[in-house]
Amino acid sequence: MEAPPAGAPLLQPRGDGAAAEWWAESKRLWRIVGPAIFQRIALYGINVVTQAFIGHLGDLELAAFSIAATVVAGFNFGFLLGMASALETLCGQAFGAKKYHMLGVYLQRSWIALLLFAVALTPTYILMEDLLLLIGQSPELARLAGKISVWLIPQHFAVAMLVPLTRFLQSQLKNWVTAVTAGVTLAVHAAATYLLVRRFQLGIVGAVVAADLSWWLVVLGQFLYVVGGGCPLSWKGFSTEAFADFWEFVKLSSASGVMLCLENWYYRVLILLTGYLKNAEIAVDALSICLTINGWEMMIPLGFLAATGVRVANELGAGSGKGARFAIVVSITTSVLIGLFFWCVILYFGDQFALLFTSSEVVLAAVHSLSVLLAFTVLLNSVQPVLSGVAVGSGWQALVAYVNIGSYYLVGVPLGVVLGWPLRFGVGGIWSGLIGGTAVQTLVLAYLTARCDWDEEARKASTRMRVWASSK
């Protein structure tokens, strides 16, 4: 995909009504952001509840779950989530162009594509123990992580069904459905995990099975809403039209998968690299707790990612480059202000959040030593996901995939390795290097966004809608 054309400033003058327009855009933005944040926090809460129960079973159990959830489940989740962002681009632009019938067709195409890829990725769960042994992880940790990964397979297929449903509903502003289903499920999950782990003494398996059931409960709720008449304009039933132009859809989905999974995998590589340090079990435990806290707060900027993608896609689909520019500025400004607030909170409270996950003094001390890096990661992540949302809404996924490869894996990871081992900064050095890679990626995306000609992007979106809608 071509780079965004240069020439137009990010924000053109808005006239005397700029304050009123800012308020109006903020209301449109928060109509998506609020439910999106709630849904993401609730879904992430399923994993947090699971990790919290497992963490109190023992340090080895927590480390094994962190490795399993990071190396395989996390990697695959990132790819499937990224593939679904293609649906966000197309559905958002179709909704803006008022071609509502195409949303249901795109949803079915996305299901087919994601389920095919989910089947292809399933062996990675089964071979988890062998993969960990191959890369030098301890036999005890590899064995337990391999056992956990097999029980994560049901979640894998639930994700393939859920993320297209969520993008489909989100693009037409039916965010309350995703929020309600996720919120109800989180409450059910907490109760089910308590029963299976504490009452029936099923340990790690009980915690993971509860999470599997919870993910499928969310899928069921959203699926029944869609096919049961909740989306009369955009859902016309199953259609063979879903197979039309399927290869073009797969190419865009694959580019989206690479773009977002490279982001999703990036900090998960940190967990994997930390496993090679001395006292790896403690280091992995401390780091996984920090990244869980970061991940929970990350649901807020990810809500802005979703909202920015929808708003930009809607404006481009409606032919308004000016509206897309303004939506970007409002979204970035709001997200950064929220990021500054949480930066201060984390610096002030230090390691106290870690008490949710462990009572080990040595792990708590390790978390305290990483709290400054956690705070700066949170601050940087208040900008980067919003810029990724701009890319999703504009359809730049292939371009951003190259940006991610360069900044993350040619800058961040090598820098982290150098700081972690030759310079002997340990886990803090590895994490610092990865923060450097994220900073590079953020600067590049900011430059592309600022230099983009959004009126030209609006014309491209209109052309795309005409071509795809007329294909049979």
Residue 16 lies in a domain: no
Evaluate whether 122 touches 106 at the Cβ level (below 8 Å). no
Highest mean pLDDT among 139-143, 172-176, 215-219, 409-413: 215-219
- Backbone conformation region of residue 4, classed left if phi is above 0, alpha if psi is from -120 to 50, else beta: beta
Q: Which two tokens stand for residue 234?
A: 């955009």
- 299 phi, psi to nearest 5 deg: -60, -25
**C-alpha–C-alpha distance, residues 4 and 456, integer Å:** 9
Q: What is the pLDDT of residue 243?
A: 84
245 pLDDT more than 80: no
Q: What is the pLDDT of residue 278?
A: 75
Confidence of residue 5 (pLDDT cuts 50, 70, 90): very low
The pTM for the full model equals 0.77
Domain of residue 447 covers 22-470
Residue 14 lies in a domain: no
Residue 6 lies in a domain: no
435 pLDDT more than 80: yes
Q: What is the mean pLDDT of residues 455-462?
A: 84
Q: What is the pLDDT of residue 226?
A: 96
Confidence of residue 250 (pLDDT cuts 50, 70, 90): confident
Residue 15 lies in a domain: no
Residue 413 lies in a domain: yes
Give the range among 295-299, 372-376, 467-471 with minimum mean pLDDT: 467-471
Residue 251 lies in a domain: yes
Give the range among 2-6, 77-81, 290-294 with minimum mean pLDDT: 2-6
Between 242 and 206, the more confident residue is: 206
Give me the chain's average pLDDT, please: 85
What's the structural domain count of the chain? 1
Q: 88: closest CA among 6, 168, 29, 144?
A: 168
Q: What is the pLDDT of residue 444?
A: 94
What digits encode the pLDDT tens for the residues 119-167? 999 999 999 899 888 877 788 888 999 999 999 999 999 999 999 999 9
Residue 26 lies in a domain: yes
Residue 17 lies in a domain: no
220 pLDDT more than 70: yes
Alpha-carbon torsion (73, 133, 282, 360), positive or negative:
positive
